[in-house]
Structure 1
Amino acid sequence: MVAEAPGSVRLALAPNVVLLNPEPAVSSAMKEGWARQQSARFLQASTIQPRLRLIQRFEDFTGLYPWQWTPADGEAFIVHLRSGAKPIQLSTARSYEVVTERVGRMSPRSINEAFVTARQDAGLDEDLDLHCLRHSYITHLTEFGYPARFVQEQVGHTHASTTAIYMGVSDEYRNQLLEASLKRRLGDDWDLK
């Protein structure tokens, strides 16, 4: 028998018991596994615990589980923290943004520099910029068959038409869609030959 990996939700759930509401147990197991990963990277409890508290605050604020969060939820949370009776400082809000394992905030400049280095190492066209990854991500999700609504939510778009602007599917994919549609419509009358 293969042992479950530490952090597996199956270790947190009782065997042969079907939960009517498994989301809280899954969320708790996710956070426990994440805390163990942080510990395995030699981060101290004094670093991990505030991060877990922040995740819990965010979960409480949104009323959603981590797998349901969108970029818009993150923005609303920061706006919420920056307003009210005791607003947080801008520097504190920035520390809640993209953070590396070593607690350093990744600036757009450092992300772009890493992209430029990777692009040059791969010998890609210099006209490609970091934003091209967003277009590629949306296109690949679409071509791999993910539902349109899922793709839209992944990139935080309110309208499907915005997501469509980013999509650049291949001719092969378009032909496959057209062929599948014709086969559904024409059934046995459809023949490519």
Structure 2
Amino acid sequence: MVFSDDQVPGAGASASGNVSLLRPAEQFFDEMVTGWSAQQTSRMLAVQTIQTRASQVRRFADFCGTPPWQWSPADVEEWTTQLVSGSRPLSVSTVRAYQNSIALFCDYLIDHRYGWVDRCLELFDSHPVQVCHEWNTVIHVSDHEARPGVRPLSRLELQTFFDYADDLVDQARSSKRKGWLTLFRDATLFKMIYAFGLRRREAAMLDLPDFTRNPQGWEFGRFGVCNVRWGKAMRGSQPRRRAVLAVFDWTRPVIEEYVTEVRPRFDLADKTILWPTERQGRIRLKHIDDRFADWRDDLGLDRSLHPHCLRHSYVTHLIEDGFDPLFVQQQVGHRWGSTTALYTGVSGDYRNRTLRRALDAAFISPTAVQGG
């Protein structure tokens, strides 16, 4: 098949005159994805969001084995079935994200302002349609879709986890085994995720200058504030920033020991990276997941626990310790208090003490208390 410049969108930038394409359908599909990416760029969406969506669309195309003008709703249903099957089914939120990418791509293709429908009819005698609809896609009806087993760690579990990490460091260091530096780094990283209620990416992207002093918290020295630069973005926007105040008295000595005694041993080319690897790079999210899983399994903790549970623990323990809910909400960067509430899994002991105080205030008169 032969396309001319006025037939293939974007061809004029890369070809002149008539061009014979070896794989016309594939190259036309590439033009579609490129055009969609340009549209999203014009909306100032984050580069990572655009790339992720394009990757998901290409995965769907590979699954179907057909170009977009031949897709059907049945393809979405078969693809979704595959995503939620097998030994490692995807979560509801992940499936929704995949389906949303396909739906947005189809919306772009069938928008007549871009001319894809007319060109497909002209070249392939077919055209793309919207293959995602309310009967074959996940509907967002709940604010919280985490697996039931995902919960905060109890204070005992948390202390056991940190003690185990420290023991591994001590054993490796005393036996002069290679790798004790990375063990020390990882142990400190998990403590900081909990100490500041961070997400994995927020922690992994930290640089040393992101810690600053808090005039109202002189006890923490230069580690009184953790300035998060890579907070969770909203609707494809740039990462949100927030300043998290240190609240635990052990935070300063833990991070100070790592920064002054351990981190310099990595002999960094980039002196700003807080969690470097032995290859001079930045720690990967997969490594954080794998390390946490290894230590969790060694201790026999619930296999549903993962690093984000440390953030849940942070929220829960602050609420149990009497911190104002609005303060906690601002610390973790939630837009709504209801989201913070979903992160909270206070212990039965805390609830019973709260109930007892309320009952005493309601049913015991001041006179009875004084006379008793």
TM range, normalised to the smaller chain?
0.3 to 0.5
Structure with larger Rg: 2
| Greater RCO structure (CA 8 Å; 6+ sep) | 2
Task: Name whichever structure is richer in strand by fraction.
Answer: 2
